[in-house]
Structures are given as structure tokens and as C-alpha cells.
Amino acid sequence: MNANEEFPIEVSVEDVDALRKSDTDFILLDVREQQEYDTARIEGARLLPMSELRNRLGELEPNKDDHIVVQCHHGGRSMQVTQALRSVGFTRVQNMAGGIDQWSLKVDPSVPRY
């Protein structure tokens, strides 16, 4: 099985919740802006705004083989970042479908919706 079969481009919020509960080692990368992160965030997520990705890509370079799940508000920006990371050699990157909004609806209602 190649990495793309093992790691489809999208993963559901329920699957991400299961990953967290299983103590699977992965990076939850939040690509929203700081003010969005301050409004609502998933515990343990690492903020790296999409607007800063180009200048801060080096922070992720050592993690090219790590499992990275990218999330944003509804899934649009995170899909762009997922595709961009895959295009520069990150092999285990997935987009969290529906973003933090779906997380709030389906996994953790204590996370504010906005």
C-alpha cells in the first residue's frame, strides 16, 4: 500500500477524534488566523496560519514523514494547505473535512461555533 492509499486526502472529524483518543502520534495543524484560533480551537492543535505558511514552511520540513492533519474553519483553506504540502513532498498529510465547525457539531460542542 502506498502512502496515498493509506492516507486519503480527507479524513472525517470523527476519525480525527478517534486518532486523538488512541494516542496515535500525529500533528493537528490549524491553518486559520490567530483571531480565529483565539475564538475557538481544538486542544493540542498547532497554529500555523495559511497566510504565513510560505515563510514558515521550514518549521514543518523536519516532519515530512509525520502524519499531519490540517484543519481550518470549514475545510477550504486546509484542503489548499494539504495539497500544497503534498506537492512539496509531505507524504502523510490529510485535510480534516468540515473543519472546526464540524468538530463543534459532531465531536465537541464546547468548542464555540462562529
Active site residue 72: yes
Predicted TM-score (pTM) of the model is 0.93
What does the pLDDT look like over 56-105, one tens digit per residue? 999 998 878 999 999 999 999 999 999 999 999 999 999 999 999 999 99
What pLDDT is recorded for position 1?
A: 37
Tell me how far apart the 2 most distant CA atoms of the chain are, in Å: 40
Determine the topology of domain 3-106 in CATH.
Answer: Oxidized Rhodanese; domain 1 (3.40.250)
CA pair distance 40, 68, nearest whole angstrom? 20
What pLDDT is recorded for position 5?
A: 57
From 72, 81, 93, 97, active-site residue: 72
DSSP string over 4-67: HHHS-SEE-HHHHHHHHHTT---EEEE-S-HHHHHH---TT-EE--GGGHHHHGGGTGGGTTS-
Residues counted in the chain: 114
CA pair distance 24, 22, nearest whole angstrom? 5
